[in-house]
């Protein structure tokens, strides 16, 4: 059950108005009687004039602050930041992302079933309130996921009683802006009794899918197709790849396995808008736990459907050396970046 220790709620109206006004200015006074051609031209001009960073973010590029996590028995103390950090999401294209801890997706959080999470959000954004919505917990959203004002801290306490691979995200209005600008990530709650296939697994990776849209353009995020659809890897332990969601992250630096390995992916599609049809080319997923719950055990799957926010644990054995791509089987999204590589060697 959610218990509040302390938090300072600020509705942040002024910042929200500031954000929305950035999208609304200009071209409001287009004449009613212009020719269709001119109307098109006006529309194209406004489409090209995508919103820029809001004024307080313009020169801001905050160094990533590492996630802090300390355990005392079953009490886990987690400190995260909301911060504005530049991320190169495609070669030569840098996005001034709204992030948790300077990463997008944010840092991986792993706790155990039965833990109590003491979560503190340090909002380093000077202009906009942010918040945390953990899908892994039960909480009254207006209290447990309340906004934390700019330059303030909020602490919240939750019990993690259900195992799985869950999304987390900023829940501040408009949620689409906060999530599409980069405020999303994954929390794994490890099942108390493990998964029935734990002993068979040789390699484990965490893979996240997300989309990007035109920078801070709520209209584009609302009405259009994503510009990029990408995968990232989040480190389960030191030495594992830990990347942002960029177009080539998991192609330039493939994940690795040996012939005969049973590979487990913890996967989540943080969206915000699209579903993922997760597929590993050249294998069949022998064991799948939908949303990462051990009771949701499926076998022999070619493709696993991940709704926006949905997760899974998927396991497959690589029987031959080679280059195995994993994709969303919606191939228009592969064209936009949604592919990664598992390199299997003898």
Binding site for Cu ion (CB under 5 A): 130, 170, 172, 178, 183
How many angstroms separate the CA atoms of 145 and 155, rounded? 10
Using CA atoms, how far residue 82 sits from 34, 62, 89, 121, in Å, is 45, 10, 19, 7
Nearer to Cu ion, 178 or 264 (CB): 178
Nearest CA among 78, 94, 284 for reference residue 188: 78
Q: What is the DSSP letter of 24?
A: H
Shortest spacing between CB 172 and Cu ion, in angstroms: 4
Nearer to Cu ion, 130 or 262 (CB): 130
Characterize 31-47 residue by residue with b for buried, 16 or more Cβ atoms within 10 angstroms of its Cβ, and e for exposed: eeeeeeeeeeeeeeeee
Q: What is the DSSP letter of 277?
A: E
Q: Do residues 209 and 328 lie in contact, with contact meaning Cβ atoms separated by under 8 Å? A: yes
* DSSP-assigned letters across all residues of 164-225: EEEEEE--PSSHHHHHHTT-EEEEEEE-TT--TTGGG--EEEEEEEEEE-STT-HHHHHHS-
Shortest spacing between CB 59 and Cu ion, in angstroms: 20
Residue 38: partners with Cβ closer than 8 Å, 6 or more residues away: none
Shortest spacing between CB 185 and Cu ion, in angstroms: 12
Nearer to Cu ion, 178 or 234 (CB): 178
Nearer to Cu ion, 170 or 288 (CB): 170
Shortest spacing between CB 63 and Cu ion, in angstroms: 19
Strand order of the β-sheet with 297-301 is 228-234, 203-212, 262-271, 311-317, 285-290, 297-301
Shortest spacing between CB 54 and Cu ion, in angstroms: 13
Nearer to Cu ion, 170 or 304 (CB): 170
Nearer to Cu ion, 76 or 183 (CB): 183
Q: By CB neighbour count within 10 A (0-12 exposed, 13-18 middle, 19+ buried), where does 77 fall?
A: middle
Nearer to Cu ion, 109 or 314 (CB): 109
Residue 48: partners with Cβ closer than 8 Å, 6 or more residues away: none
Give the Cα-Cα-Cα angle 120, 121, 122 (nearest 5 degrees): 115
Nearer to Cu ion, 177 or 190 (CB): 177
Shortest spacing between CB 300 and Cu ion, in angstroms: 40
Nearer to Cu ion, 195 or 212 (CB): 212
Peptide bond into 180 cis (omega under 30): no
Q: What is the DSSP letter of 48?
A: H
Shortest spacing between CB 19 and Cu ion, in angstroms: 10
Shortest spacing between CB 171 and Cu ion, in angstroms: 8
Give the Cα-Cα-Cα angle 294, 299, 304 (nearest 5 degrees): 85
Shortest spacing between CB 82 and Cu ion, in angstroms: 6
């Amino acid at each position: 059950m959610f218990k509040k220790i302390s938090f300072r709620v600020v509705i942040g109206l002024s910042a929200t108005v500031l954000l929305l006004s950035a999208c609304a200015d200009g071209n409001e006074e287009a004449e009613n009687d212009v020719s269709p051609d001119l109307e098109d031209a006006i529309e194209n001009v406004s489409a090209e004039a995508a919103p820029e960073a809001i004024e307080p973010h313009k020169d801001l590029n905050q160094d990533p602050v590492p996630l802090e996590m300390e355990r005392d028995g079953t009490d886990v103390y987690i400190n995260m930041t909301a911060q504005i950090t530049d991320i190169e999401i495609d070669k030569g294209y840098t996005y001034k992302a709204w992030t948790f801890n300077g990463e997008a997706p944010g840092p991986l959080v792993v706790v155990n079933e039965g833990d109590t999470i003491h979560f503190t959000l340090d909002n380093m954004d000077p202009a906009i309130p942010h918040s945390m919505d953990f899908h892994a917990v039960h909480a009254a959203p207006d209290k447990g996921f309340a906004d934390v004002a700019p330059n303030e801290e909020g602490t919240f306490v939750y019990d993690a009683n259900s195992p799985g691979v869950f999304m987390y995200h900023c829940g501040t209005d408009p949620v689409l802006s906060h999530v599409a600008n980069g405020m999303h990530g994954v929390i794994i709650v490890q099942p108390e009794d493990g998964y029935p296939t734990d002993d068979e697994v040789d390699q484990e990776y965490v893979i996240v899918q997300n989309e990007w849209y035109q920078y801070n353009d709520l209209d584009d995020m609302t009405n259009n197709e994503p510009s990029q659809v990408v995968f990232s890897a989040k480190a389960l332990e030191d030495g594992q790849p830990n990347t942002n969601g960029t177009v080539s992250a998991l192609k330039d630096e493939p994940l690795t396995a040996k012939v005969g390995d049973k590979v487990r992916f913890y996967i989540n599609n943080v969206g915000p808008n699209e579903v993922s049809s997760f597929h590993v080319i050249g294998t069949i997923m022998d064991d799948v736990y939908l949303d990462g719950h051990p009771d949701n055990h499926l076998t022999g799957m070619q493709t696993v459907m991940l709704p926006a926010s949905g997760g899974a644990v998927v396991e497959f054995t690589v029987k031959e050396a080679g280059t195995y791509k994993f994709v969303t089987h919606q191939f228009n999204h592969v064209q936009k970046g949604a592919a990664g590589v598992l390199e299997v060697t003898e």
